[in-house]
Structure 1
Amino acid sequence: MDLDALAGVISYKHTGDSVMTVTAAVDRITLSRPLLEICDLELSGQVTFATGRSSMEVSLQVCKAIPTGQTKKNEDVFMECAFTMVSLDPVTKKAVKIAGVEPENEVERNLYELGMRSYEKKKREMGRGLRSKEPDDEESDLIHRLWLKTLDYHGLPQYSLPPPQNLHAHVKLHNPIRPNHATPIPQSPQLHDLRWFPPKIYFRISIYMCISYFPFKTYFYRIRS
């Protein structure tokens, strides 16, 4: 949350307050080393890539706070990350053009090139999405393997979904699929005073029990008094 807020402040310093800036993505997070000591941390960042359109990349760094006059070392850096921010018109909510970035030194040029590679990669992936083209052979094989694993997990090797007329034959109550959570259910109304529980508590317990024993989508039918 602090990093996202800092990225927003840096973005507004670049664009001014006449536009609305939103977080589009967190592109990368690099953890250099674990934080093993109690110390003050310094959060810093700058706009490192912008094409002059509506988006920009903000690179952030978390490092050990260095006293005035001392030089920051590589071992003082704990984390580096990059946010993609997009500027919008506050009224129409449409993308607006912003100023570009011109690197002035070697460090800025390296960050700019890194942002350029990330930008080009995003453009390529957008053209390869399943909404724009069908999956290739490698992607089809991956989808098929995941589908087979799903069938094995649910114990249904022959069907993508169990046939409706034989639905309950595929689930054995003595060997149900157990989720990785436990739902405590009161057993004594007098002990837990269940008379004062709202009806939605009983409804949730019923849903949890169905999900715990049956790996299928559960629908509410009726309440029987």
Structure 2
Amino acid sequence: MHRTLTYIHYFSYNNPAIHDRLYSVLPNRFWIDKVMERENQKPIDESHPQKPRQLIEKTMADSYMEMNLPFKSSPALLEEYIFVDGRIRTGKLLEDLDAMAGAIAYKHVDNGDPDAPPVTIVTACVDRLDLLLPNAVEDYKLIGQVTYVGTSSMEVFLKAEIIPDGESEQSSLSATESPKPSPEALGHLGPNTILATRFTMVAIDSVTRKPAKINPLKTETPAEERLFEFAKANKARKKRESETTLSRHPPTQEERLAIHDIYLQYSQYKGAEQDPMTNPEDKKPLPKEFIWMEDTRIDSNFLMQPQDRNIHNNIFGGYLMRRAYELAYANSTLYLKSQHADLLAMDEVIFRKPVHVGSLLNLKSEIIYSEGHPHRSFQCRVVAEVVDIEKDTRETTNVFYFTMAATDEKTEPRRILPKTYAETMLWLDGKRRRLQGVSSRHLLLEQLAKEK
């Protein structure tokens, strides 16, 4: 039995017209296709024992991949990505990053043996993504490579850059050329960098469904060694942060005072009638610069279709990110009463369970934290649940946190007020994420300034 080649879904293999049109403007996607096809055509035969996988030492350059997205110079491609306000659809870029991370991971796992046991690559986690998109349509280049390897998992570093005018033609690759990394490309953030993120990919034996050992990684230069050590430290940092979450530890003393202050704030307004400490007749109308958290909730349902599946018949992680972001954007516009909302960052996303074709995906969104005007940014949370229609069960697969911002000076974000203790914990979590996000973004901007 052979697996159907569906991982790089934007090639649209079931639609020759779209396939040929995208190939004509994106010849360098040939290499992503080539890597995936070699792995996908390996047979899966559970009746015969698989030979042990031979591991070979690889470098970061071995997994390097780049892909041009000439939006400015290709009307055909721009048509596939254009947003209603004339900018590039961020959700589509999230899909491309996920697909590219998978291809890079397959490229690292590949040992050149056509008879090696087939391996399935799944997206386990997406680290924080900071977005610095320009207002105008530009030509982009996506760049990535493996920067850290464990036993069966690997970290893929990805970034997107603007291709300066006049360099689009020079950087375009034909379908017979393999991209070669430049020393500056590996982990380098420059003035043209518009986003940077890290994907954690996991290798699974396609037959036994157990973790599969992957090729070790060898660093060759001081720059690569720094990338490796940074990824290693990042992994340790995420582990420490997971041990201090509000689901494991109570709020700090300072946060307890903040909780009391927020209680005193909301208890004086109408709408908090369940509060037994104050007289309902003494409550005032909620001012226009405030909004109850419960009044920001919206949800959406999607039936998972086979066109959005990967090689193991599950839905792409990139598809889930796109749907979650687009719901967060819709929620942000309703909250702001304005279409002028931008994505600043996406926090770490953990893929807990696979989403199968035919299941119902329920997405719930709410604004969990905002300090209100004059602050422009706010935190939006999206919970993804898979609904088994026949069994009538629900399972949470992902929780997304997006930092959004109002871009219109006339728009004044309203302050979020929780009512219940559970909402207050969400509010506190959003406050933590905002403080951590501001610090992370400042570090990124400082690094970009140094590069300038």
Range into which the TM-score falls when normalised by the shorter chain: 0.5 to 0.7
- Is 1:45 the counterpart of 2:139 in the alignment? no
**CA displacement at 1:92 relative to structure 2:** 6.0
Q: Which residue of 2 aligns with 1:162?
A: 275
Report the Cα distance in structure 1 between the residues aligned to 2:194 and 2:247, rounded to whole angstroms: 38
- Is 1:175 the counterpart of 2:289 in the alignment? no
Maintained 8 Å contact 1:156/1:170: no
Task: Give the number of the structure whose alpha-carbon radius of gyration is greater.
Answer: 1
**CA displacement at 1:75 relative to structure 2:** 3.1
- Is 1:58 the counterpart of 2:156 in the alignment? yes
**CA displacement at 1:64 relative to structure 2:** 2.9
TM-score (norm 1): 0.58
Which ranges in structure 2 are unaligned for 5 or more consecutive residues?
1-94, 111-116, 173-181, 297-333, 336-418, 421-452
Maintained 8 Å contact 1:162/1:170: no
**CA displacement at 1:59 relative to structure 2:** 0.5
Q: In structure 2, what residue type is equivalent to 1:99? A: N
**CA displacement at 1:120 relative to structure 2:** 1.7
Q: In structure 1, what residue type is equivalent to 2:147? A: T
The structure in which a higher percent of residues are strand is 2
- Is 1:122 the counterpart of 2:234 in the alignment? no
Change (3 A) 1:167 1:152: closer
Q: In structure 1, what residue type is equivalent to 2:122? A: V
Alignment of 1:53-92 (within 5 A): 53-65=151-163, 66=167, 67-68=170-171, 74-90=190-206
Deviations for 1:155-199, whole angstroms, at most 9, x for unmatched residues?
169x9x634xx9993785x725774769xxxxxxxxxxxxxxxxx
TM-score (norm 2): 0.32
Maintained 8 Å contact 1:49/1:57: yes
- Aligned length, in residue pairs: 172
Report the Cα distance in structure 2 between the residues aligned to 1:47 and 1:171, rounded to whole angstroms: 61
Which ranges in structure 1 are unaligned for 5 or more consecutive residues?
183-214, 217-225
Deviations for 1:19-41, whole angstroms, at most 9, x for unmatched residues?
3322232223355x653654321
Alignment of 1:1-225 (within 5 A): 1-16=95-110, 18-30=118-130, 34-35=133-134, 38-51=137-150, 53-65=151-163, 66=167, 67-68=170-171, 74-90=190-206, 94-129=210-245, 134-135=249-250, 139-155=251-267, 162-163=275-276, 169=280, 175=285, 179=291
User: Secondary structure at the residue paired with 2:155?
Assistant: strand
State the identity as a percent. 30
Report the Cα distance in structure 2 between the residues aligned to 1:46 and 1:39, rounded to whole angstroms: 23
Change (3 A) 1:168 1:55: farther
C-alpha RMSD of matched pairs (Å): 3.9
